[in-house]
Amino acid sequence: MTKLSIVIHTEEEFDWDGGFYRKNNQVTHGKELTEFCEELISVGAKIVFAMDYAFVTSEQGQEVIRHFQTHHSDSVEFATHLHPWVNPPFQDEEPVPEKYSYPGNLPYELEYAKLKVLTEKIEEIVGYRPTTYLAGRYGVGDNSYKILNELGYKVDVSISPFADFRHQHGPDFSGYTNEIVNQQSIQRIPHSCGYISRFRPLSLRLNRSTELMNTLNSNILGKIILKIFGVKRVRLSAEGYSLKENMELLKVLKLEPVEHLIFSFHSPSSKPGSTPYVMNNRSWNSFNSTTVKILEACSSSGIDIRLISNKQS
């Protein structure tokens, strides 16, 4: 049976184009996030809150945690999300260069120290040690899995299939599909992302191997084929993607078949004006409706909506 986990990048509000400053640590969307997640749970959702330091140490963040521990403890998991620029110990340089906004680019000692502080803070607040990790900006690196092992993590959800962030000093995932792999005893479950097109057999071929897309992109004829068939890379998310695109991606990934799907969004999207994806009430209504309809479709099609941690699931 196909499994699906809902992973919320649970974090502060900040200007995504305004640089990486430790002062950008405000959390004012607690009420909206609680109400939205209550709605999702009412349609069968189980939610993984991957929380960063700014959120878990904020008053509103802790109110969200207490609410779901009190009312829906069996339907939530608290995980870890490392934003280096708001997580002590701090570097001297500010703003943090974009390269070091990716945790995996930090020196080993600093990446370890930041994740240790965050892990222990989450354990202090929620009462158990998190075992699921999401690197900020999907930024795992050469040392990340050794560090995750040392700190007791079991699962990483930082892989973004078919994506290449090297243009902004980030990792290159262009060689990854949605297949679950193990690295240094850490199970790596990718954030669900894949290709859709007007010709589903082509979509399936593109999602099963990265070589075909590389070949098609390498010549004019291949690029014409991609355009004719309307090939588009889509993330399983209501942030920036339509209901139609999400539903087609679900069908393609189920046919793949992909063992474990990840549906994701950022917590500030629950409050209009807090992310580029949800800037006003109109886009909020679309985001809300799309998310609910996707989860309802998953439930009705027999997808097992579940948490990630074995202990919590």
- pLDDT tens readout for residues 112-137: 999 999 999 999 999 999 999 999 99
Amino acid identity of residue 114, one-letter, is K
In this model, does residue 311 exceed pLDDT 70?
no
Query: What's the rounded Cα separation, in Å, for the pair 248 and 203?
Result: 10
Chain-centre distance for alpha carbon 181 = 17
In this model, does residue 99 exceed pLDDT 90?
yes
Q: What is the per-residue pLDDT across 237-280, written as a single tens digit (0 to 9) for each?
A: 999 999 999 999 999 999 999 999 999 999 999 999 999 999 99
List the CATH code of the domain at 3-192+236-242+259-305: 3.20.20.370
In this model, does residue 227 exceed pLDDT 50?
yes
Query: What's the rounded Cα separation, in Å, for the pair 186 and 54?
Result: 26
50 phi and psi angles, rounded to 5 deg: -90, 105
Amino acid identity of residue 105, one-letter, is N
Q: What is the per-residue pLDDT across 1-53, written as a single tens digit (0 to 9) for each?
A: 899 999 999 999 999 999 999 999 999 999 999 999 999 999 999 999 999 99
Mean per-residue pLDDT of the chain: 96
Beta strand segments in 174-223, E: 181-183, 186-188, 193-196
In this model, does residue 92 exceed pLDDT 80?
no
* Beta strand pairing call for 232-235 and 181-183: unpaired
- Residue spans of the domains in the chain: they are 3-192+236-242+259-305, 193-234
Contact call for residues 12 and 267 (beta carbons, < 8 A)? no
Local confidence band at 91 (pLDDT 50, 70, 90 cut-offs): confident
Q: In the prediction, which pLDDT does 309 show?
A: 87
Q: In the prediction, which pLDDT does 310 show?
A: 62
In this model, does residue 155 exceed pLDDT 50?
yes
Q: In the prediction, which pLDDT does 312 show?
A: 42
